[in-house]
Structures are given as structure tokens and as C-alpha cells.
A and B are shown apart, each in its own frame.
Chain A
Amino acid sequence: MPKGVGKIRIRLPKHIAKGEVIPVKALITHPMETGLRKNKKTGKIIPAFYINDVRVYYGGELVTHADWSIAVSANPFMTCYVKADKAAPLKVVWKDIKGSVYEKTVQIQPE
């Protein structure tokens, strides 16, 4: 795996009230190569390498999922909304086309 790929930051609001709809902001570093670009020096095509599947779990339950393709930018940032009605872990899983899986879990703790 190239260096600096798959570093994740997930941000939640500082204070969460029970039952509130909160934004979950997730950032992952990934080159998201389309497979259409050429190396300018050698003329060879840079092989495709992008995330094609994203899933968000809240307390083991699938909240949302997304199918991404080559149109998504490098180092993609995404936001989804979750109704914080229980104290449970929130897990975001990214899968890329080379089979790597990147995931991070944060705890949602409504006050």
C-alpha cells in the first residue's frame, strides 16, 4: 500500500443531546486514482485505485451505504446524519478496489 493511505478522522459534535440528529463528518486519505491518467514521464497508465464502497454502522446496525466510483475526489470527505438515540459505537468502513478495508470506530455518547 502506498504511504499515507487510509488515515481517517471522524468528527462528531462536542455535545450530543439524546434523540438529536447529528452530523458525522469523516475524512480518509486516499489517492482515488481513476485509471485514466498517464504518467507523464513514462507514458504508462496509472492503474485504477479508488474506494468503491462505504458503509456506516451505528450499534451494529447499517445506517447508510454508498457506492463510489472514479468521480469522487482524492482524500474524500463525507458527511452523513445519524439520530443519536442510544450510546453505541459508530463504525465507518471504506473498501477499495484492491481489496483493502479501512475502518474506524467512535463512540456516540448522548448526554
Chain B
Amino acid sequence: MTVAMAAVLAVVVGSLISCAETRASEKKVSLTPGPEVEELEQSMSYEEYQKRYKEVFGTATEEMAEDGNPAELALDDGLDLVNAVAGSKGLSCASCHGKDGVKLKGIAATYPKYDPAIKGIATVALQINRCREGNMGAEPFKYESYDQLVITMYVKSLSNGVPIHVSIDGPARPFYDKGKVYYFKRQGQFNFSCAVCHVKYAGYMARTNLISNNKHHGDHWPAYRLKWGKTGSMQRRFRGCLKNMRAERPAFQSEIFRDLELYLTSIANGEPVQVPGLRM
């Protein structure tokens, strides 16, 4: 009798402990500024995730990238745009940044970064448009238009192979924190946050999709995506994810998206830039 009771007790205590363990993995932390967010723990190491990726997709994506990335064919157009004279002042990007933009080599690896002129984070796409408006007197590109994508892609591809080193200290810190809060904040009809999928359940299956680890989310945009059948920016991908979450979708290059881009790129710090990417 006592033995059976002890066994029941042991089971109850065991389940309580396992409960406590799941709670511990969702510890609450407070980031300044902003509300309390639940910071989730990584589901698995990146090596483990890579193993799972190989099991699900094999080498299909690598073979596809070897056969040719359609976005690479558009890089020539980006090169032409860099050398093209535009605007009222008769300047082109090449007038300041050298022919074919050679002086921009390695610069994109430090973006997004804090810009005192706008008191916020500047991404490459935003910087190109600000440069066009302010220094060249030209019309800014419409975001996600063909011209805007190819010139961003070309400028970023000049830094290919350079390790990403975005600064998250000093003046950039509050914006980094804002991006991080947004990443971990639950929102939308389904009450998801970015981190629920890409941190807590990264490497598990969502129906037939493998949920990706966020380590390499920041290093390859703009990328060609098979689902879109065309090239798109990181922020278009954000909006796609938010739509799936049934959440409100901010506009392109809005403040919160730039902060989020800084947060995601800082995760990829140390990884080489590889633009344009090819993704499913």
C-alpha cells in the first residue's frame, strides 16, 4: 500500500518538476525600453539544425544554386544604375564612390547602422534613397521596384565574402533593443512572435516545412525566392511572415522594420555576406 502511494507521489512530483522545467525555458526578461518580453531558448544548436536540414532537403538547394541563381543575372542592371547619371546635379553613384562603386567594397557588411542624421538605423536600401534625394537631387526609388532591388543587390554584392560586423553598442543599442523586443513580442490573431518559430521551434516541422534557424537570416538579402518567382528584400519577407501570423504589417523601411533588420543582421555577425541569396 505504502509502496503504491509512494509510486503515485513520485509520478505527481515528477510531472510537477517537468512542468517547472518548461516554465524555466520561458523566463521573462525586461529589455529597455519596452514591455516585458518572454525570451525563449534555442530549440537546438545550429549544427543539429544543419543535420535536420540535410535530412529533409538533402543537397537540393545547393545543386539549384550551382545551376544558377536568376537574381545574379540582374546584377549587371545594378552595375548600370550605379554608373548612370541621374538627378538635377548631374551626378551618378560612381562620381563619389568610384567607377562601378569600387569604394563601396566591404561597406555593406557594416549595415544596418546608426545614422545621426536621421536619428535612427539606416539600411542599405534607405541609404541609397537618401543619397539620391540629398546628394544627387534625384527621385528616390520605390521600394521593392526592380531598379531599387537590383541596385541594393549590386551594392551589397560588392561586400560578398566580408564577415558581417554590425555595431549594436553605443547609439545603436536602443534600436537594437527595440528590434529584439519586436522579435520576441507575441502579436496577431494567432498570438505568435517571430521567436516562437525561429528560436523555440527552429528545426522542427510546421506541416511540410522545416522551420529555419535564425542564424543565417540576415546575410543574404535581397534574395531570389522560388515561392515568389522573383527577387525580394528582407522586409518583404518580414511582411510575408507577419501576414501568416495574422498580424499588423508595417510599411517598407518603417522604423520598426529597420530595427528588426538590425537585430537579425547582428545575429549573423561574423558570417560572410552572400548576396544575392537563393531560398525556397
Smallest CB gap from A25: residue in B: B67
B147 within 8 A of A: yes
Inside 8 A of A11's CB, which chain B residues have their CB? 67-68
**A9 interface neighbour in B73, B146, B229, Cβ under 8 Å:** B73
Smallest CB gap from B77: residue in A: A4
A86 within 8 A of B: no
Q: B68 to A9, Cβ gap below 8 A?
A: yes
What is the CA–CA distance of A27 and B132 in the complex, to the nearest angstrom?
A: 33
User: Knowing A73-B229, A75-B229 touch, does A7 contact B67 (C-beta < 8 A)?
Assistant: no
Inside 8 A of A27's CB, which chain B residues have their CB? 67-68, 70, 73
Distance between B258 CB and nearest chain A CB, rounded to angstroms: 26
Inside 8 A of B72's CB, which chain A residues have their CB? 9
> Scoring B residues 94 to 113 as 1 if CB is less than 8 Å from chain A, else 0, what string do you get?
00000000000000000000
Q: A7 to B68, Cβ gap below 8 A?
A: no
Smallest CB gap from A6: residue in B: B73
What is the CA–CA distance of A11 and B74 in the complex, to the nearest angstrom?
A: 17
Inside 8 A of A3's CB, which chain B residues have their CB? 77, 146-147
> Scoring A residues 10 to 49 as 1 if CB is less than 8 Å from chain B, else 0, what string do you get?
0100000000000001010101100000000000000000
Q: A7 to B74, Cβ gap below 8 A?
A: yes
Inside 8 A of A7's CB, which chain B residues have their CB? 73-74, 76
Q: A4 to B229, Cβ gap below 8 A?
A: no
Distance between A39 CB and nearest chain B CB, rounded to angstroms: 15
Smallest CB gap from B70: residue in A: A75
User: Knowing A29-B73, A73-B229, A74-B229 touch, does A4 contact B67 (C-beta < 8 A)?
Assistant: no
Inside 8 A of B230's CB, which chain A residues have their CB? 31, 74-75
Most buried by B among A4, A11, A29, A32: A4
B interface residues, how many (CB within 8 angstroms): 13
Inside 8 A of A32's CB, which chain B residues have their CB? 229
Distance between A6 CB and nearest chain B CB, rounded to angstroms: 10
What is the CA–CA distance of A11 and B68 in the complex, to the nearest angstrom?
A: 9
A81 within 8 A of B: no
A68 within 8 A of B: no
Distance between A53 CB and nearest chain B CB, rounded to angstroms: 20
Q: B150 to A77, Cβ gap below 8 A?
A: no
> Scoring B residues 143 to 157 as 1 if CB is less than 8 Å from chain A, else 0, what string do you get?
000110010000000
What is the CA–CA distance of A31 and B70 in the complex, to the nearest angstrom?
A: 11
Distance between A81 CB and nearest chain B CB, rounded to angstroms: 15
Inside 8 A of B150's CB, which chain A residues have their CB? 4
> Scoring A residues 61 to 93 as 1 if CB is less than 8 Å from chain B, else 0, what string do you get?
000000000000111010000000000000000
Smallest CB gap from B75: residue in A: A7
Distance between A94 CB and nearest chain B CB, rounded to angstroms: 14
Q: B146 to A25, Cβ gap below 8 A?
A: no
What is the CA–CA distance of A105 and B215 in the complex, to the nearest angstrom?
A: 41
What is the CA–CA distance of A74 and B73 in the complex, to the nearest angstrom?
A: 14
**Which residues of B from 49 to 101 have beta carbons under 8 Å from A?**
67-68, 70, 72-74, 76-77
Q: A29 to B146, Cβ gap below 8 A?
A: no
Distance between B150 CB and nearest chain A CB, rounded to angstroms: 7
Q: B74 to A77, Cβ gap below 8 A?
A: no
Smallest CB gap from A7: residue in B: B73
What is the CA–CA distance of A4 and B77 in the complex, to the nearest angstrom?
A: 8
The list of the 9 closest CB pairs from A to B, nearest first, reads A74-B229, A7-B73, A75-B70, A27-B68, A3-B146, A9-B68, A29-B70, A4-B74, A29-B73
- Given A4-B77, A29-B73, A77-B68, list of 13 further CB < 8 A pairs? A3-B77, A3-B146, A3-B147, A4-B73, A7-B74, A8-B73, A11-B67, A11-B68, A25-B68, A29-B74, A74-B229, A74-B230, A75-B230
